[in-house]
Chains A and B, each alone.
Chain A
């Protein structure tokens, strides 16, 4: 294993310190417990939004803290949910009196720790709501599983809910917008190579030189099937099909298409993916009116990508276009 680290135990803290130093105009980091908030937090009278989860998915979530998106982010250990105390501390730090929305990816640990923190915050008189994202169509949503996973679609939930909070929507309205985005976005991923958790030191799974995992999770969890490597266009079709069929998306829909890199795939390949994904959608009468291509929800150094498709309407489009100023997304301001 070759990694640019000093000590596996210090990966999260040292990375957080560097992030906060590089973006001191946007954010402030606190340590023990660890969290990141907007440099000017709290914003009086504005609904505050916090997200968090295991580290290793950067820029998710700290990279999305700033004007028009998140008020705070809580990074846990690598691929491990944060504990309730930093979530509570961040919730207190961003509360501007209008309530706090927690955006939580659907993993058992994240949900349990955020629930516990929300109970503690409520006991201190802070109104907290939670929206649990579950956009990954690769795994079955049923009584017999922990439900669909929250993956790259979470970025779209954070951006659009963040814009709603920034324009002054109240807690009920911001929560409703976040739930609407989550209900209208579907994602699926593929891995060409595994990722290595620093303290584990070994790949979290193995793939033969000519194998890929269809439906991979953002921690390297297995998906639907393992197949031989195919040309990019064929892989795009394999994962776009289940996404489009799930809601289902239909001819005449306007959508946002997100091509998300898993961390180890170069942009030159992500644009090859985008090109064909947009073609396939257009052939079905689905119009891509907004797009995003880049590394937004990563799995350490995993090679691979995910596609997310969000059904847009005028309100969601307006909120997507609204100004945002964060380390990883910045426009209009």
Chain B
């Protein structure tokens, strides 16, 4: 079933709920190898996004909702996560254009554009122990699922599963970007907080599609 505005709104609301729920966990992950503000910043951003959804017109598109998330995160999150996630949602919004409903190919385009936007801003590569280590496996899994004829919900479920595995797989890595890069081998054994929040956001997308 193609995914429309109601899925997009449900994804964003579920994102707000899971980030609020995992705020302390994300702070704890970031305190270990960063500066301890990731959960606080992401929570502040999504708590600002959710009330704004009521401002969208009834005939708004998924792209309109994603753009609202982008501008709100850029102006409220701060840190590195604000420009990075903000750019992700902005590029995703541009990728889906004004389509009222997203089919499997559009879902893949959304995820791919989001990942490419983060790479463009942050210049991180796979293996640098950043959110890209969750995003890129998610995009790869989505591409593979779509090619095998999976439904939109199945594509997002595959992406979410790959992102969660990707976040776990950051644990043995040495960081090459962001504050954790200063730690050298001391970063080994700690999960990247941005990869973990990415996994939660994509799980929210999959859950919303499952419920649609």
Contact = CB atoms under 8 A, between A and B. Distances in A.
Interface string B71-111: 00011111111111000000000000000000000000000
B64 to A, nearest CB: 20
Given A79-B36, A222-B182, A109 B76 contact: no
A146 B182 CA distance: 7
A83 B78 contact: yes
A139 B175 CA distance: 13
A200 B27 contact: yes
A81 B78 contact: yes
A112 B37 contact: no
A221 B27 CA distance: 15
Interface in A131-157: 139-140, 143-146, 149
A84 B76 CA distance: 9
A60 to B, nearest CB: 16
Contacts of B61: none
Secondary structure class of chain B's binding surface, majority of residues: helix
Contact of A108 (B44, B75, B80): B80
B interface, size bucket? 20 to 34
A97 B46 CA distance: 37
B182 A108 contact: no
Task: Report whether over half of chain A's contact residues are helix, strand or loop; otherwise say mixed.
Answer: loop
A109 B36 contact: no
B121 interface: yes
B52 interface: no
A204 interface: yes
A113 interface: yes
A144 B27 contact: no
Given A113-B83, A146-B179, A85 B122 contact: no
Nearest to A112: B83
Contact of B178 (A146, A199, A200, A217): A146
A138 to B, nearest CB: 8
Nearest to A8: B40
A33 B27 CA distance: 24
Nearest to B78: A80
A265 to B, nearest CB: 21
A292 to B, nearest CB: 26
Contacts of B41: 77, 80
Interface in A79-109: 79-85, 107-109
Interface residues of A, number: 37
Nearest to B121: A112
A83 B76 contact: yes
Contacts of A78: 37
Contacts of B82: 81, 83, 109, 112-113
Most buried by A among B31, B75, B76, B78: B78
B18 to A, nearest CB: 19
Interface of B: 27, 31, 35-37, 40-41, 44, 74-84, 121-122, 176-179, 181-183, 186
Interface of A: 33, 54, 76-85, 107-109, 112-113, 115-116, 139-140, 143-146, 149, 197, 199-200, 202, 204-205, 217, 219-222
9 contacts: A80-B78, A82-B78, A108-B179, A139-B182, A146-B178, A146-B181, A200-B31, A200-B37, A221-B182
